[in-house]
């Protein structure tokens, strides 16, 4: 027999379950770029999102960038410098972007972190980010390395390039230009706290990563219920459901 106590216990348990992983991906081709960023945001469905454009050293509250692998282990809550990139074909807004170099200097020959992680500590229902400079192995002019995406620390697909194709997108490999605009959506009731990009292969010397990655126009959807609010929401739904059961049970007598 289903009782009000049972239903309330179920919804309280449901509210206590930790957020699951993001479930849906959207890839916008490099040709979809629009210098009118308001129109581009509308086209991509990210209008109204909180935007980090990397045009200054201050990052939006709760955002940090971590660089790991190849001897690197650096976490930054602000940029060490603004990188005004000279070619307009790299970024997704304004004149500046951020790279996989912890110092955020213009790319040069060297060894770079294996992985770059963008962490948004409040959690988000979706996160978008513009990618540039990814030199994939299928690029006849600049073959370098394939890449991998992680959401909340969990690997998504075999490679980022294949993931784009599997979700109807085109990942344009390029030495310095835009590749794709990626949007990651969480499932209902889920949150995204981090997305990571990894260089997974290299045509350079063993133990080195020669692909410097560009990132721009990070967009965050912030309408995530607070844990307490989510619990109250589930509890309220449970009480309403229990009241409905009692009402139906009374009518059958």
pLDDT over threshold 80, residue 95: yes
Higher-confidence position of 236 and 58:
58
Q: DSSP class of residue 119?
A: E
The whole domain housing 115 covers 20-226
Least Cα distance to 98 among 80, 115, 114, 113 occurs for 80
Domain count of the fold of the chain: 1
Q: Tell me if 211 is assigned to some domain.
A: yes
Q: Is 188 helix (H, G, I), strand (E, B) or coil?
A: coil
Can you name the residues that pair with 116 across neighbouring β-strands?
67, 197
Q: Tell me if 133 is assigned to some domain.
A: yes
Gap between the Cα atoms of 103 and 119, Å rounded: 18
Q: What is the pLDDT of residue 51?
A: 97
Q: Tell me if 238 is assigned to some domain.
A: no
Q: Tell me if 147 is assigned to some domain.
A: yes
Q: Is 48 helix (H, G, I), strand (E, B) or coil?
A: coil
pTM of the model: 0.77
pLDDT digits (tens, 9 = 90+) for 179-188: 889 999 998 8
Strand spans (E) along the chain = 22-29, 50-52, 63-69, 72-76, 83-84, 96-99, 115-124, 126-132, 147-151, 154-156, 178-186, 192-199, 214-221
Least Cα distance to 215 among 43, 82, 53 occurs for 53
Q: What mean pLDDT comes out for the span 220-224? A: 81
Q: Tell me if 93 is assigned to some domain.
A: yes
Q: Tell me if 83 is assigned to some domain.
A: yes
CA atoms within 13 A on the CB side of 228: 0
pLDDT over threshold 80, residue 108: no
Lowest mean pLDDT among 14-28, 71-85, 194-208, 220-234: 220-234
Tokens of residue 252, six digits: 């059958």
Report CA 156 to chain centroid distance, whole Å: 12
Gap between the Cα atoms of 191 and 173, Å rounded: 30
Gap between the Cα atoms of 24 and 126, Å rounded: 9
Higher-confidence position of 246 and 67:
67
- How many CB atoms are located within 10 Å of the residue 177 CB? 18
Gap between the Cα atoms of 156 and 25, Å rounded: 10
Match 């990188």 to its residue by tokens: 83
Alpha helices in the chain (DSSP H): 4-16, 37-44, 160-166, 227-252
pLDDT over threshold 50, residue 14: no
Q: Tell me if 117 is assigned to some domain.
A: yes
- How many CB atoms are located within 10 Å of the residue 246 CB? 13
Q: Tell me if 12 is assigned to some domain.
A: no
């Amino acid at each position: 027999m289903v009782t009000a106590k049972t239903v309330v216990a179920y919804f309280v348990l449901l509210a206590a379950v930790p957020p699951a992983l993001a479930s849906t991906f959207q890839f916008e081709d490099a040709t979809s770029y629009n210098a009118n960023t308001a129109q581009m945001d509308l086209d991509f469905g990210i209008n109204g999102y909180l935007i980090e454009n990397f045009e200054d050293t201050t990052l939006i509250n709760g955002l940090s960038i971590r660089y790991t692998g190849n001897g690197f282990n650096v976490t930054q809550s602000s940029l060490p410098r603004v990188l005004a990139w000279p070619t307009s074909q790299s970024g997704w807004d304004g004149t500046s972007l951020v790279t996989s170099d912890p110092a955020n200097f213009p790319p040069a020959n060297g060894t770079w972190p294996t992985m770059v992680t963008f962490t948004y500590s409040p959690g988000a229902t979706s996160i978008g980010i513009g990618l540039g400079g990814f030199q994939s192995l299928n690029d006849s002019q600049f073959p370098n390395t394939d890449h991998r995406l992680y959401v909340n620390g969990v690997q998504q697909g075999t490679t980022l390039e294949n993931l784009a194709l599997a979700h109807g997108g085109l990942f344009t490999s390029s030495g310095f230009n835009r590749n794709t605009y990626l949007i990651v959506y969480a499932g209902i009731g889920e949150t995204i706290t981090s997305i990571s990009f990894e260089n997974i292969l290299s045509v350079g010397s063993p133990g080195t990563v020669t692909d410097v990655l560009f990132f721009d126009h990070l967009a965050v959807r912030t309408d995530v219920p607070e844990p307490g609010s989510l619990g109250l929401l589930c509890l309220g739904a449970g009480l309403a459901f229990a009241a409905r059961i009692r009402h139906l049970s009374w009518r059958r007598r």
